[in-house]
Amino acid sequence: MTVDLPLIWAGLLAFAVFAYVVMDGFDLGIGILFPTLAPGDERDKAMNSVAPVWDGNETWLVLGGGGMMAAFPLAYSIILPALYAPIIAMLLGLIFRGVAFEFRSRNPRHRAFWELAFTGGSLVAALAQGITLGALLQGVTVAGRAYGGGWWEWLSPFSLLTGVSLVIGYALLGSTWLVMKSEGAMQAHARRMAGRLGAGTVACIVLVSAATPFLKHRYAERWFAMPNVLFTAQIPLLVALGAVLFFLSLRKGYERWPFLLALGLFGLSFAGLGVSIFPDIVPGAVSIQEAAAPAASLSFMLAGAAIIIPIILAYTSYAYWVFRGKVGEEGYH
Amino acid sequence: MHLDAVLLARLQFAFTIAWHIIFPAFTIGLASYLAVLEGLWLATGRAAFDVLYRFWVKIFALSFGMGVVSGVVMSYEFGTNWSVFAAKASPAIGPMLGFEVLTAFFLEASFLGVMLFGRQKVGKALHFLATCIVALGTLSSAFWIISANSWMQHPVAFMMDERGRFIVTDWAKAIFSPTMPLRFVHMVLAAYLSTALVVGAASAFMLLKRPGQAESRIALRMAIGMALVVAPLQLLVGDAAGKQVAEVQPAKLAAIEAFWDTKGHQAFNVIAWPDRGVQANRFALAVPELGSWITHGRADAVVTGLKDVGVRNQPPVAVVFWAFRIMVGLGVLMILEGVAGAVLWLTGRLDRTKLFLAFATLMGPAGFMAVIAGWTTAEVGRQPYVVYGWLRTADAVAPVGPAQVSVSLLAFLVVYAVVFCVGALYILRMMAEGPAPLAKPPPPDRAPGSPMAAAPTEDLP
């Protein structure tokens, strides 16, 4: 049996992207929700609840980018020029919200500005990531081995829809994270927000799912043709089940389940994306196999990754465990 | 039209990486310094080390945050602006950068959280371990990035496939390419020196403002000790690295020294006005014979001149020539600071010699300036290639138009100017306030009556 290195790397990369989406998702979500929190104590607590982990969360984005460059250089060299504007916007957004963690507590007179930067940066980054996803799904023009489209190709009603959807989805993750980490009035507020954002997220999932089959004939085939449909139909069914459980858990006053079920909804949406895109990496243009780096590179990296990624997961879990429980007063110096 | 996009993309990369390198250069050194401070505190129990740790860890957190966000930009810029480079060279350098993420970034990011916020939660020993792990992570990051860059400067152990991709045939040889070990040492020493100069400057400034400030006296002495040992060492390492350049990148060496003709008994140009237009130095202040001797250790050594590599393959000479001289000049000043500081320390005049304290304060940014000048020498000197001898920079650029690159360049200029200048101001303000002695001293960890209990806590060496 031969080892399908490109397929393994596609799996690893998908894992890195998913890890990024859910982990940075909730801390970007907190940035998006920030203006709805009471200035002072509530905002401090929200910030402190993610301060020890946001940096590690964002590292998954570097792994996603670096991993794609290393394992699928062709895809990297097509996708990034194609999505030039949203990628640059995302990077700039991440700069503002990243420095805001430290800068916010440096000078009381500048606080309002850096809180605005925190929210604005988070919002722009989330929107740009969603647009990137939508633009990829609707397809990018490839000429030869390079991007061959125009500069506004990424912009469409569909990509804007996915952009807004991701903003709402991240805000959902952020609000359920706060339900888990906060108490009292702040928790009640987070719970109310989670209810609304949960409804918004489910609506977005429905809209994006309904629009996707119309983008490319191939997507419709993958979802609706027999016998695929027997498998693919499970995904919307599970989304419906997950949504019901989510609202129940919220109403019953559970603290952890809303977050976990929101993660579940993200997981199912991600699986749905996989169904649409696989076995391509640039949908409709370049397959995983075509884009892959030579075996010499993939096998060398895999040997390292197989050892290091479990270690990373172990100490990341440890870091989360150290800061488990409700967020307290300790935080920014 | 095409050239414009290349030039703009190069400007953008130069601008973003020059800002970025300041933060790693600082945090590599500062992480190790913090580990030393915390280790000393745990070993001696002297509160002064704890005060210094708490002071510098805040500055570390700020710098590290800026390093992270400016670093994320780099990992995507390869694709947005240099996609052809990415497609061809990443089978070789991609895994090295990948290992940087896996062995350095995750390590730093995860344990930084514990280091900054976990002191009450994990206990002293684990907290110290977290600090050490962060320091190790910064060094690992330097290792991989130097490895990737050294391979690009002097590609080895590869073959090229039919798509023009670089396929590595021996990873050990590619990672430890011939110039890599010395360049790694050169970079780490540069980071340590830069940090020592910043610590020295902040402490000297504090002593000018509040003479006798206890913690600043300790920190200034630590900084001087570092400069005294590392600055001369750096000169030797740099010289050895330069001799390797002479071997593997003769055109870069010729640009560094503004040699135009290939010959023995090259004169050493102390200062010069090299002009590619006339293929000569319009003006030079030169020492006969010294050029061959410095670059090859013998006055009769034949050294390649720029005319021999052809105009098409010449780097921008003046930039390389002057960047190198700025780096070396600053290095000499650092040696001076180390030696002068040590002499004053030994003669007991260190804390009252205002001239020296002012000099040390002014030297604060010298390390960063030298780092940027050094990298300018290395990166401009290897032009017109991005993978030396194999892939020209002009052929590596992404199919993006000048308009897109201009707009993003402008955005980066504005955002970096605002964000990082404000960040630098916050850091300067913290330095101006100085280390704050603990409001109430923490209860001593030593058992009463033990020998250590009698030891003074706030005393000085």
What chain A residue is nearest to B107 in terms of C-alpha separation? A312
* Residue A328 forms part of a structural domain: no
- pLDDT reported for residue A332: 60
Nearest neighbour of A151 by CB, restricted to B163, B404, B423: B404
Mean pLDDT across the stretch B425-450? 69
Q: Indicate the range of A12-16, A225-229, B61-65, B453-457 predicted with least confidence.
A: B453-457
Please tell me which residue, A29 or B458, carries the higher pLDDT value: A29
**CATH at residue A281:** 1.20.1630
- pLDDT reported for residue B142: 93
* Residue A169 forms part of a structural domain: yes
ipTM: 0.88
Rg (alpha carbons) of chain B, rounded to whole number: 24
Q: What are the φ and ψ backbone dihedral angles of A129, each rounded to 5 degrees? A: -65, -40
| CB pair distance less than 8 Å for A53 and B75 | no
* Residue A202 forms part of a structural domain: yes
- Nearest chain A Cα distance for residue B55, angstroms: 10
Give tens-digit pLDDT for B78-93. 888 888 998 899 999 9
How many CB atoms are located within 10 Å of the residue B387 CB?
22
Closest CA to A22 of A325, A331, A316, A321: A316
Closest CA to A100 of A118, A120, A85: A118
Contacts of B426 in chain A (CB under 8 A): 102-103, 106-107
- pLDDT reported for residue A203: 95
Domain count along chain A? 1
The answer for residues whose C-beta is within 8 angstroms of residue A14's C-beta and 6 or more apart is: A270, A274
Please give the residue range of the domain that contains residue A79.
7-322
Is residue B440 very low, low, confident or very high in pLDDT (cuts 50, 70, 90)?
Answer: low
Q: Is B334 exposed, middle or buried (0-12, 13-18, 19+ CB in 10 A)?
A: buried
- pLDDT reported for residue A330: 61
- How far apart (Å, rounded) are the C-alpha atoms in residues A215 and A207? 13
Give tens-digit pLDDT for B239-255. 999 889 988 999 999 99
Nearest neighbour of A99 by CB, restricted to B66, B71, B87: B66
Closest CA to A12 of A313, A332, A322, A319: A313
Mean pLDDT of chain B: 88
pLDDT of residue B457 exceeding 60:
no
Q: What sign has the CA pseudo-torsion B193, B194, B198, B201?
A: positive
Contacts of B92 in chain A (CB under 8 A): 297
* Residue A332 forms part of a structural domain: no
Is residue B452 very low, low, confident or very high in pLDDT (cuts 50, 70, 90)?
Answer: very low
Show pLDDT as tens, one digit a residue, over chain A (333 residues). Answer: 577 899 999 999 999 999 999 999 999 999 999 999 999 889 999 999 998 899 889 999 989 988 998 999 999 989 988 998 999 999 999 999 999 998 988 888 889 999 999 999 999 999 999 999 999 999 898 888 888 888 888 999 999 999 999 999 999 999 999 999 999 999 999 999 999 999 999 999 999 998 888 888 888 888 888 787 888 888 899 999 999 999 999 999 899 999 999 999 999 999 988 888 888 888 888 999 999 988 889 999 999 999 999 999 999 999 888 888 888 766 665
What chain B residue is nearest to A101 in terms of C-alpha separation? B65
Q: Read out DSSP for B112-180?
A: HHHHHH-HHHH-HHHHHHHHHHHHHHHHHHHHHHHHHHHHHHS--SEEE-TTS-EEES-HHHHHT-TTH
Give tens-digit pLDDT for B345-395. 999 999 889 999 999 999 999 999 999 999 999 999 998 999 998 999 888
